[in-house]
Amino acid sequence: MISASESISEDDTDSAELSAYEKAGLEGKDPRCIPIKLDAPLPVGDAIVTPEYTPEQHKIWSFLSRRQHEVLPGRACEVFLRGLKQLDLPLDQIPSLSVLSRRLQQTAQWQICRTPGLLNEQDFFEALSRRVFPSTDYIREDHELDYTPAPDCFHDIFGHLPMITAPDFADFYQMYGQASLRATGANRRKLERFHWFTVEFGLILEDGQPRIYGNGIASSYRETFHALGDEVERRPFDPEGMAAQEYEVWHLQPILYVVESFEQLKQGFKDWAGGQLGLL
Ligand SMILES: [Fe+2]
């Protein structure tokens, strides 16, 4: 049985060292956004027990997945759309993590572990470095269809998994986990921001046009339109710039970064994290 406890308290942390989620947790915004620490290993692959979902919960999945399937073609990048097809996610019911883990193992040599909520960074990076993606298995409530700052299985499965089926991205993501495990202090914050502006909110150029690959956009109806619209400042890929750029998790993102290719993302990360930061 996994038990979780709050990983931080105001007494034992220096706020300059906290991630945006951790700061938000301290400000009492949403308890589901407070990263948790584990005292037992998470179940991986076939060891994950699928919960008994209610018809209402399946309905929420169905609404969200049908809506995103409608709006993503022409807006999400080809790699994301191909991954979505490859995963063959059910439209009308919440998929089983153990079944998806088997599929991911075959396509990308990654597995899934089931997390009870937002994981603390150490456990999250450790899992990524072993090619294991931590996913929640609960779904948001029906008043959160358009926006939830907390992780849920629609974000984790529909948003994250398609990109992990792509070899270049899968290798980059493992490398990201390895570098982050070695990072401390200011470098941790730099890598956390890098993650936000790539994995969570990244755009890529396709035929000269920005397309979505970040899962925070791909799993959000409002961000899907907002990210490609006029109100967003889109900047070229720049690891050091991203690492210095503050963000907040509570509203639509005003600044996004655009890579030219996933090769640029992988190589750019390797050069920056390995060279400048000395973490690879
Ligand atoms: Fe995410």
Q: Given this model, what pLDDT does residue 38 score? A: 84
Q: Given this model, what pLDDT does residue 31 score? A: 72
Q: How far is the CA of 137 from the centre of ligand 1 (A)?
A: 14
Q: Given this model, what pLDDT does residue 16 score? A: 46
Rounded to whole angstroms, the Cα distance separating 166 from 262 reads 10
Q: How far is the CA of 10 from the centre of ligand 1 (A)?
A: 25
Q: Given this model, what pLDDT does residue 25 score? A: 54
Q: Which residues contact 206 (CB under 8 A, 6 or more apart)?
A: 77, 78
| DSSP-derived pairing of the beta strands 203-206 and 36-38 | unpaired
Rounded to whole angstroms, the Cα distance separating 151 from 39 reads 20
Q: Any idea which residues carry the catalytic annotation? A: 155, 160, 200, 219
Closest CA to 162 of 216, 86, 98: 86
Q: Given this model, what pLDDT does residue 35 score? A: 86
Q: Given this model, what pLDDT does residue 201 score? A: 97
Q: How far is the CA of 160 from the centre of ligand 1 (A)?
A: 7
Rounded to whole angstroms, the Cα distance separating 272 from 197 reads 15
Query: How many of the other CB atoms lie within 10 Å of CB of 43?
Result: 16
Q: How far is the CA of 1 from the centre of ligand 1 (A)?
A: 24
pTM (2 d.p.):
0.88
Q: How far is the CA of 219 from the centre of ligand 1 (A)?
A: 9
Q: How far is the CA of 156 from the centre of ligand 1 (A)?
A: 6
Which CATH topology does 18-276 take? Phenylalanine Hydroxylase (1.10.800)
Specify the DSSP class assigned to residue 27: T
Output the tens digit of pLDDT for each of the chain's 280 residues.
222 332 323 333 344 455 555 555 555 567 777 888 888 899 999 999 999 999 999 999 999 999 999 999 999 999 999 999 999 999 999 999 999 999 999 999 999 999 999 999 999 999 999 999 999 999 999 999 988 878 899 999 999 999 999 999 999 999 999 999 999 999 999 999 999 999 999 999 999 999 999 999 999 999 999 999 999 999 999 999 999 999 988 788 999 999 999 999 999 999 999 999 999 9
Q: How far is the CA of 215 from the centre of ligand 1 (A)?
A: 6
Closest CA to 229 of 204, 254, 198: 254
Q: How far is the CA of 79 from the centre of ligand 1 (A)?
A: 17
E strands, the chain, are 4-6, 36-38, 111-114, 132-135, 203-206, 209-212, 233-236, 255-259
Q: Given this model, what pLDDT does residue 21 score? A: 54
